[in-house]
Amino acid sequence: MIFQPHLIVLDLDGTLLTDRQTISPKTKEVLLRAQAEGHYVMIATGRPYRASDPYYRELGLTTPIVNFNGAYVHNPRNNRFKEQHTPIDLSIVRDVVDSVNRYDYENIIAEIKDDVYLHADNDKSLDIFTMGKPTIVKGDLNLSLPASPTTLLIQAEEQHVASIRSHLSSVHAEVIDQRRWGAPFHIIEIVRNGLHKAVGLSLVAQHLNIPRERIIAFGDEDNDLEMIDFAGVGVAMGNGIDQLKNIANEITASNNEDGIARVLQERLKL
């Protein structure tokens, strides 16, 4: 029987990572074994690369990585894979910043790949965005942004998130896509319209010559919906949202219970 490699796609938060932000020993062991047997393992996350790199290195990956929910796709180990960077047009970002200023929010954060721009001088925002030691610039985004950003994030108290999202949907829906981060972060993430993890995953699968039926993808949140739907085997974590579980091919144990390892051991006979 001819060996057919699979592409294993991992969301980070709430999926690969336990609630302590670590990869469990069992899940790590299974993923390393999968790679040793010739399968591909990749990460697809809403995080920037700088906040994904420790886990990419821990798993010894050499595959392309999808960051910012598909807005940035590159291979940190091999520049023969053509980098794909799809930012939001700067004029649209300025319109969004101006229109959101009438709402209650804590900060608006723009990221250009691994550089961070904070609209307000609010140290509450810094904890989330300093991983990987990025360059941080503070000041009015309409003045400080030097180029179109990869992503725009609106940080607000939980009770204000719904009204801001409703406004974005009614005013800017044709030019942006928005997602809500899971707890404990009350953040609305904005990328260019039409972008999601499945866009990046499709590019990587084509590059590796892996058909959709041999893609096994794992996720837990609404930014995983398109990816789980795209994959031949879309797996929702036990801690995932109901909307994701409803479209998944399979539901596994939670991120704290080696849900990834269980599926891979069974499906790939590891």
Catalytic residues: 11
User: What are the helix (H) ranges across 109-177?
Assistant: 126-129, 141-144, 158-172
C-beta separation of 11 from 29 below 8 A: no
Q: Which of 170, 186, 101 is closest to 142 using CA atoms? A: 101
β partners of residue 49: none
End-to-end Cα separation, the chain, in angstroms: 17
Q: 138, 129 in Cβ contact below 8 A?
A: no
Q: Tell me, what amino acid is at 19?
A: D
100 in Cβ contact with 204 (< 8 Å)? no
Tokens of residue 66, six digits:
């999808």
Residue 131 — φ and ψ, nearest 5°?
Answer: -60, 130
Crossing angle, helix 158-172 and helix 90-100, to 10 degrees? Answer: 130
Distance of CA 103 to the CA centre of its chain: 26
Torsion of CA 202, 48, 148, 71, to 10 degrees: 10
Beta bridge partners of 191: 177
119: CB partners within 8 A, 6+ apart: 97, 107, 108, 109, 110, 139, 140, 141
